[in-house]
Amino acid sequence: MSRYGKFDDFCRDTGNTWSTLPVCYLFNEATTRLDQGWGGCTLEGFSVGGDKRLRNLGSILVDGIAILVLLFLLWRSQRKKAAVGRREMQLFLLGYIVISICEIFTIGGFPINDSVRIAFVAIHIAAITATSWILMLNGAVGYQLLDDGTAVSIGLLLISSLLIFIGTGYIALDTGFSWTGYWDNTLGTPNQAYALYTLYQLVPLVFLVIFFLLESFLVLRILGERKPMLYLIGAALLFAIGQIFQYVISVHICTGTDRKINGGLFESLFTLLAVVMVWVFWSSITEDDWPMPTVGDQGAYN
């Protein structure tokens, strides 16, 4: 717990001054501010002429593919007219499209102005938290506490996720631009930012775990099926592998490839695969003629 809220080790091991962890660009050690560094393996990427470099070309390419894949899944979702939670799933996919676009300009290292990069970082962090919230609510949709796809259901989802997005985004922006100076004590090593750590590192993980538990109970207890759990477990494993590449293996890849790539590329890839698997899981439980619970039916399953 003594390391709770501290980002310095994470930033050092995920690319140093060019970290593949977006939050690191808010701090003094990053190139967007004082360019002091954390003392790790600096991700250099590939030159694109002059002093311009694409620091994380692999993630940029994966994010480009991700946007195309997610647009295809949006189209496929639209065709599933009778599917439970169709609109809610589409909102989740849209959220991940926003994340993928932001990644190109944050961890991708696409050459842009430092202030613009900080703005993209704030949007990126806020989108991660809000999108994980949307995914968690998708896990509750199958219980039909509210009719899915209605104005009330979509409205509550949008309003709540927008509030999370604005709140998280403001903290990130105020940290990066020092508007009020309230978060300035987090800018230097060890970069102990409790609010950002909680909202960016802890809260999304809690939302993901709740989603997994809700869907597991729905499939195993209410639908009485096991096959869809293979897709759900697959999504969880793919996401976990991506995080291992990001936080554990990244620095070793950076060193072994002479600073050309690091674990951020694989984190982007495996997270995309996890999102696709979540969609496959959702599709699998909405294609078959399984009884879906309603509020009035809950007593039958107790």
Q: Which phi-psi region, left, alpha or beta, contains residue 46 (left: φ > 0; alpha: ψ -120 to 50)?
A: beta
pLDDT at 289 over 70: no
- Which residues make beta-bridge pairs with 53? 47
Nearest to 106 by CA among 122, 121, 128, 96: 121
Nearest to 141 by CA among 223, 211, 65, 56: 211
- Which residues make beta-bridge pairs with 85? none
Q: What is the pLDDT of residue 2?
A: 72
pLDDT at 297 over 80: no
Highest mean predicted confidence (pLDDT) among 139-143, 164-168, 256-260: 164-168
Q: What is the pLDDT of residue 1?
A: 55
Reported as a single tens digit per residue, the pLDDT across 184-216 is 999 999 999 999 999 999 999 999 999 999 999
Residue 267: exposure state from Cβ atoms within 10 A (0-12, 13-18, ≥19): buried
> What pTM, to 2 d.p., does this model score?
0.92
